[in-house]
Amino acid sequence: MGTMLRNLKTLIAPTLRVRFSTSCARAIILPSPTRPPRITMSLPTPLTQHIVHRPQRIALLQHIAEQGSITSAAKSAGLSYKAAWDAIDELNNLAQKPLVERSVGGRGGGGAKLSLEGERVLRLYQRVQALQAQVLEAAEDSSDLDLLNRLTLRTSARNQLLGRIVSITRQGHNDQVRLQLAGEVFIEAQVTHDSTLRLELENGTEVVALIKAGWLELHADNSEETNGNNCLIGRIDNVTDAEDGPSEVRITLPGGQTLCALATPEHLHARQLKSGATVQARFAASLVLLGIPM
């Protein structure tokens, strides 16, 4: 029954169903099954998909609202302190406005509260839960729900940034797609023209840009040469060292979205990159994968 309840949520909200190649992202177009009535939500579709498939994230928001502490909320939601921060970053990156307002080092390990948008998301999720019983009654066979759940895709890309297309420039067999992220921040992605057609990309289309943490190159703020790559400037919030690998660097962008990058301690030390420092995160347009809500 627990598995069935998790899977039936797939029917309630849109999903981000994509497949990727080295230089492009393509949608998987599936036949439309008969569906129960769907909720009309004024939220970005990727965010709707994310919270429906990750109920633990909603539980975290609920506990933050009740307790006002990251540490206490994480413990109540069954998450580690780091996992709670990662969850907040993901939710804020996929929302048009931050869902959680936070302060580092507050009472109990970090103070936090829901923004007005975060409170609205909680109310909408309660409406989703109200439909679960109806969906369960309408399902003829639990294996049908299992099948639909297998057809959805989650990605390992650490950075998932909600954006909107502002221009598409044809360059031979490729298209250069310019995206506006939160806070008047812009990046470019390079996809094949065939992918542009398959994904039905056009100005105004809402997409999710996916960038693996290992694809980001970190440089000091006074570096000038970018070699035509994307260059995002942000502030280093935290550096987490590892005993047997690169350090994890969390960066906050001007619009409030966050990036996660990997760099060796030697690389960071040579460029004086530490918590509080301004940093450039560079990456090629060809390394930006695009996903579209279905």
| Helix and strand element counts for the chain (H, E) | 9, 14
227, with CB counted inside 10 A (0-12, 13-18, 19+), is exposed
Q: Supply the mean pLDDT for the chain.
A: 78
What beta strand segments (E) does 2-136 contain? 18-20, 25-27, 100-104, 110-114
Token duo for residue 138: 């309408």
The string of pLDDT tens digits covering residues 19-37 is 343 343 333 333 333 444 4
Name beta bridge partners: 196: none
| Predicted pLDDT of residue 85 | 86
Report pLDDT digits (tens) over 227-285.
778 999 999 999 999 988 999 999 999 988 999 999 999 999 999 999 999 999 999 99
CATH fold group of domain 48-137: Arc Repressor Mutant, subunit A (1.10.10)
184: pLDDT strictly greater than 50: yes
Q: What are the structural domain ranges in the chain?
A: 48-137, 142-293
Residues 102-150: tens digit of each pLDDT: 765 545 455 788 889 888 888 887 776 666 656 656 655 666 556 555 5
Q: Which two tokens stand for residue 109?
A: 């390990």
Strand ranges in the chain using DSSP code E only, listed in sequence order: 18-20, 25-27, 100-104, 110-114, 159-171, 174-180, 186-192, 206-211, 217-220, 230-242, 245-252, 258-263, 278-283, 289-291
Task: Categorize the per-residue pLDDT at 12 as very low, low, confident or very high, splitting at 50, 70 and 90.
Answer: very low
Tokens of 200: 């039905």
142-293 CATH pick, 2.40.50.100, 3.40.120.10, 2.40.100.10, 1.10.3720.10: 2.40.50.100
pTM: 0.63
